[in-house]
A and B are shown apart, each in its own frame.
Chain A
Amino acid sequence: MKKLSLAAGSALVLAAAVTGCGSSGTSNTSNTGGSTGTVSLNFLQNKPEVVDQWNQLIKAFEKQNPNIKIKQINPPNTDTTLQSDLAKGQMPDIVAMGADATFIQMAKNGVFKDLSNAPELDKVSPVYLKMLEQEVGKDTPYALPYTVNAVPIIYNVDLFNKYHLKVPKTWDELMNEAKQIQAAGGTPFYNGFKDAWTLAPIWNALAANTEGSSFIQDLKAGKTTFAKSDLTAAKSMQEFVKYGQSNQFGVDYNDANVGFAKGKSVFYAQGIWTLPVIRQANPNIKLSTFVVPATNDPSKLKMVSGVDSLLTVTNSGNTAKEQAAMKFIDFLLEKKNAAQYANAAGLFSTVNGVKNSDEALKPLQPYIDQGKVVDFDDHYYPPAMAAGNQYESVLQGALSKKQSVQQLLQQLDSLYQQSASHQ
């Protein structure tokens, strides 16, 4: 009996100890660590490709600011993680993510700090600042654009030359080259479609260029449907998957990056964020890019480009934390750091005066400079449709089962109806 109550007693003491250190990790006050005035920040970023780069930046920042400790979180599913963090009142203090449905929904609901009076606004591109405000649908900046991406076709220069190809100007030219490669026993595209989201880049490039610029407004107003406006995009998509490797729905994103890097295909239809990962898997590969020739009319072609990472601070009501977070953002906006990150991540920087020096991105630069860019379609889909890879799953399902374009579009429409009604 004595032994037992002793065990129970010590269990309670230990439980109290766990509670103690448990609360320190989650509490809003900056009481972690012994030294007073140390602020611990949780920093969530959604790009698995750049975990190391962020850790380097964080290290450099912590060296300059020994009183601020930053912990990087890179969850496999940002949407669910953020939503449940919000439900628990345990939002990360700083978030770097794409301008996706989850961000938009949260910004609308006042989760993030209003940056209207922040001096940092002057340091970044007004074009992309505007794009963010449009997405949220308010004239208030809730985030700073940090980097922007683009969806081109990436190609392996050696293989490209081996097949005597030239940069295609139209969709038909691209498909003909693909046919030519396939006939010669090669693989035109290497796709990582086991991860549903990897269908998004090419879909967005095709849809945004073919559905007409008022599609989203018309869709919301009930004037059009996916079936009416995205028929061309869906047909192109269907044509496109004919030229992927036979196992394209069984290879995931990571393996696809490596496969392309190892020369398994000539082209790779992915965002420019894959460039560093491809080079990591094969440092000797020669890469170049061209804008997805989504239409047969080159004069109207636009490049899909959206805010890849925005920087935003959570409204925590804790001034010390918010100030520390802004300090980190100031650090990130320094030209040297912005350039370091953009180059390492294979992206264009939005910080004024910072250019990406990557040769492979040169063919895309004119589109950025001339403003011939269009935002990702899916940034405007209803949250329940875009979050959690919902619409990508529809594409993945229909294309892997070789369903007709009508079936594919019909499923997109019914998903849209449902998502719009559960907002």
Chain B
Amino acid sequence: MRTRTNWPAMIFLIVGALFILFPIYMAIAVAVKSPQELAQSVLGFPSHIHWDNFRQAMSITHYWHTFGNSLLITFFAVVLTVLSNSMVAYAIARNMHTPLFKGIYYYFFAAMFVPFPILMLPLVHQMSSIGLANRVGLIILYIVYGISFNVFVYIGYLKSIPLELEEAALVDGASRWRIFWQIVFPLLGPMNATVAILTGLWAWNDFMLPLVMLSDPNQYTLPLVQYAFQSQYSTNYDLAFASYLLALLPMIIVYLLFQRWIVSNVTKGAIK
């Protein structure tokens, strides 16, 4: 009885999985075909892999350069977000009894409901007037805009960390800074992972912020370059899809390698 498989559930999951995988299969099937083969059949299994699509797509989009932009932005956004946002959350969490910090907490929390379009138009002017309508500006925005949600998530977790450890360290004469970096920050491990994953996915896949902030094609990220170059692919769908796959691939590889870790940490963050 305990080990019997629930077949209705299995069938439902198999159908669902096919639904998820079908567009991805189609994307691969289109990307690896020559234009002639694509004209005959879109969904058919390719007879051989037409690598030339990938080579051409890479040269059109300056793939490695664009990939480098995405990587730099994502890397700094993730590292600096984890370091800074955890600290802010810690300071707030330990002072929630004071009106000042409680006020700060609600300020950040309320900002979560402010839609980006309201800032968008003035932000473009503001960022360019201080010379930050570029990759660096983007990194800053990811770190700053992340605060709202991340502080909220961190604080939930911080509440569960016992104060005794910190108090003992305080008696030993450690400063608040040392206490945070040496004791609390390491204890935040699972939450740091959650925040890092979510920030990484956001910065890597984001389209709207790069779209409004970046003007110089040298600074384009992978999603933005797909948008900006769509007209150049025209009806060369094989080429376009090779390019899409190349843009999706880094994240898929990371996901396949760390799949269990990513899935379990995202959940941890969500349920605190």
Contact = CB atoms under 8 A, between A and B. Distances in A.
A88 B128 contact: yes
Given A18-B72, A90-B133, A255 B235 contact: yes
A71 B65 CA distance: 15
Nearest to B232: A51
A257 B216 CA distance: 31
A14 interface: yes
A33 to B, nearest CB: 12
Interface stretch (A72-80, A130-138, A168-176): A72-80
15 contacts: A4-B83, A4-B181, A11-B80, A14-B76, A15-B139, A26-B216, A42-B216, A74-B228, A76-B227, A87-B125, A88-B124, A88-B215, A89-B128, A257-B235, A281-B235
B128 A87 contact: yes
A213 to B, nearest CB: 35
B228 A75 contact: yes
B209 interface: no
Contact of A25 (B129, B216, B229, B230): B216
Interface in B103-131: 124-125, 127-129, 131
Interface size for chain A: under 10, 10 to 19, 20 to 34, or 35 or more residues?
35 or more
A22 B135 contact: yes
B232 A19 contact: no
Contact of A76 (B135, B185, B218, B231): B231
Contacts of B217: 42, 71, 73
Contacts of A23: 131, 134
B234 interface: yes
Of listed A22, A71, A277, residue having the most chain B CB within 10 A: A22
A15 B76 contact: yes
Interface in A188-246: none
Interface string A76-114: 100001001101111000000000000000000000000
B182 A26 contact: no
Closest 5 CB pairs of A and B: A48-B231, A88-B128, A90-B215, A25-B218, A22-B134
B136 interface: yes
Interface in B201-218: 212, 215-218
Contact of B234 (A4, A7, A25, A48): A48
A193 B166 CA distance: 66
A1 interface: yes
B183 to A, nearest CB: 10
Contacts of B139: 15, 18
Interface in B22-55: none
A85 B212 CA distance: 9
B56 interface: no
Interface in A159-178: none
Interface in A270-288: 277, 281
Contacts of A7: 79
A423 to B, nearest CB: 17
Contacts of A357: none
Nearest to B135: A22
Interface string B48-82: 00000000000000000000000010001001100
Given A8-B83, A14-B76, A15-B139, 7 more contacts: A22-B136, A23-B134, A25-B216, A26-B219, A84-B215, A88-B127, A90-B215
Contacts of B134: 22-23, 25-26
Contacts of B232: 48, 51, 74
Interface in B161-208: 178, 181-182, 185
A258 B227 CA distance: 21
Interface string A140-175: 000000000000000000000000000000000000
B197 to A, nearest CB: 18
Nearest to A259: B235
Interface string B69-105: 0001000100110010000000000000000000000
A73 B216 CA distance: 9
Interface in A46-86: 48-49, 51, 71, 73-76, 81, 84-85
Contact of A1 (B182, B215, B229): B182
B156 to A, nearest CB: 23
Interface string A248-265: 000000110110000000
Contacts of B216: 25-26, 42, 90
B231 A11 contact: no
Contacts of A90: 128, 133, 215-216
Contacts of B125: 87-88
Contact of B76 (A11, A48, A74, A88): A11
Contacts of A14: 72, 76
Contacts of A257: 234-235
A18 B178 CA distance: 30
Contact of A87 (B79, B124, B227): B124
A87 B213 CA distance: 11
Of listed B127, B133, B219, residue having the most chain A CB within 10 A: B133
Interface string A1-25: 1001001100100110011001101
Contacts of B135: 18, 22
A18 B136 contact: yes
Interface in A387-422: none
Contacts of B231: 48, 51, 74, 76
